[in-house]
Amino acid sequence: MVSLVAAYGLLLQPTARRPSPLRRFLSPVLEAPAPLASLLDLADEYDAFLLDQFGVIHDGKTAYEGAVDAVCELQRRGKKIVIISNSSRRKSDTLARLRSMGFGPCEGEGASDVPPISVVTSGDLVWEGLSAAAAAPFADLGLRCTVFGNGEDDEEYVRTCGRVAVPVAEADFVLARGLFTILGTGPDLLRQPFSPYSADAEEEALRAALAARPGGLPLVVANPDTVRPDGKDSPMPGLLAARYEAMGATDIRPVGKPHPLIYEACRAQLAIAGIDAAGARVAAVGDSLHHDVLGASQNGVDSVFICGGVHYRELEVPQAAAVPPAADKLAALLATFASEHGGCTPTHALAGFRL
């Protein structure tokens, strides 16, 4: 398997893109596209939207102002919406969360006059991949793993996909779902309580994983994010992966945006809805340049960058408030990103996801 840096490097290779009638190109030295007034300015230019959730339509507990109305309007116009999320949880968690906030109808709710919302999460893809153990990057993994987890559903997650949590010295691979607890620290297979996460515990576990074999034990990253959607400075699995690689690990397997597997799963959802992704007009909406915009660009779809999300501090705007950033701030942010990522820029920009 390729390393984390190599995986990102592959994504930065030029790929053919379908021209969009509203495509706005930006070189590192040109001005940024002005944030559009509302989602309605581009809604009918696309057949389907791959929609990020955290930092775009809600904060994990509460829907952002106008987000429910915006999603409902897209559905009313016949647009297929697929939530594409780097959540390390199963998609059932996302569906329940969306319904509790007023989004819907969603998949599994029976017949509807509008296209239901579908959900693809990186955590679900990892669970399905580990359960089937039939294809890369899961087919060659063993049964025993040490888990960096969220501290809530890790034991059930591991058990139901047919794996068992063990100490690093007995593990076949490491699974990173979160950085709140470590599952696999007990003395035997019958006693595997989680222990609290700490930087020291992480380093000890990663060094043991690195020493287990040349290049280290495989690390499956179920959430490759490096920054929390709310911008808070807390540990993320993507940073753990970077630290493991810095130690010398060579077998790191990230699942989620910006990597291809999650976009393949989204295309499968579009196909179920009768949409041929190869010929359809598809846009990915998100607030992360490094995950949403880069992932869309390298996987053949347009992108809509939400300014009031994870980059709100750099743009000096209130988070989730749909306040347009100053043109020079947006231009500088996008120019810097483009210069570091092979000229990649968003197709469109919105101050916030609302009508």
CATH of the domain at 169: 3.40.50.1000
Residue 250 and residue 253: Cα distance in Å, rounded? 10
Together in a domain, 242 and 305: no
Q: Is residue 130 a part of any domain in this protein?
A: no
Global confidence as pTM = 0.88
| pLDDT at residue number 32 | 62
| pLDDT at residue number 266 | 97
Together in a domain, 150 and 204: yes
Residue 82 and residue 111: Cα distance in Å, rounded? 17
Q: What are the pLDDT digits (tens) for 300-332?
A: 999 999 999 999 999 999 999 999 999 999 999
Together in a domain, 112 and 170: no
Together in a domain, 220 and 168: yes
| pLDDT at residue number 246 | 98
Q: Which residue has the tokens 């199963």?
A: 90
Q: Is residue 298 a part of any domain in this protein?
A: yes
- Beta strands, E only, the chain: 48-51, 80-85, 118-121, 144-149, 164-165, 173-176, 181-183, 194-196, 219-221, 252-254, 282-286, 302-306, 348-350
DSSP string, 246-314: HHT---EEE-STTSHHHHHHHHHHHHHTT--TTTS-EEEEES-IIIIIHHHHHTT-EEEEETTSTTHHH
Q: Is residue 26 a part of any domain in this protein?
A: yes
Q: Please, where are the H alpha helices in 161-275?
A: 199-211, 237-247, 260-272
Residue of 292, 300, 294 whose CA lies nearest to 353: 292
Together in a domain, 216 and 163: yes
Together in a domain, 143 and 97: no
Q: Is residue 132 a part of any domain in this protein?
A: no
Together in a domain, 213 and 291: no
Together in a domain, 146 and 241: yes
Structural domains of the chain, count: 2
Other beta carbons less than 10 A from residue 110's beta carbon? 6
Rg of the Cα trace of the chain? 20
Bridge partners of residue 220, in order along the sequence: 175, 253
> 319 near 37, Cβ under 8 Å?
no
Helical axes 4-11 vs 237-247, angle rounded to 10°: 110
What are the tokens at 338?
Answer: 């483009």
3-state secondary structure of 82: strand
Q: What are the pLDDT digits (tens) for 164-204?
A: 999 999 999 999 999 999 998 655 555 556 789 999 999 99
| pLDDT at residue number 278 | 82
Q: Is residue 299 a part of any domain in this protein?
A: yes
Together in a domain, 114 and 62: yes
| pLDDT at residue number 227 | 85
The stretches in the chain having pLDDT less than 70 are: 1-34, 37, 185-193, 229-234
Give the rounded distance of the alpha carbon of 8 from its chain centre: 14
Residue ending a domain, choose from 195, 223, 254: 254
Which domain does 75 fall in, by range?
4-13+20-123+258-350
| pLDDT at residue number 100 | 97
Residue ending a domain, choose from 254, 280, 311: 254
Q: Is residue 291 a part of any domain in this protein?
A: yes
| pLDDT at residue number 17 | 37
Residue ending a domain, choose from 254, 280, 301: 254
| pLDDT at residue number 114 | 95
Q: Is residue 338 a part of any domain in this protein?
A: yes
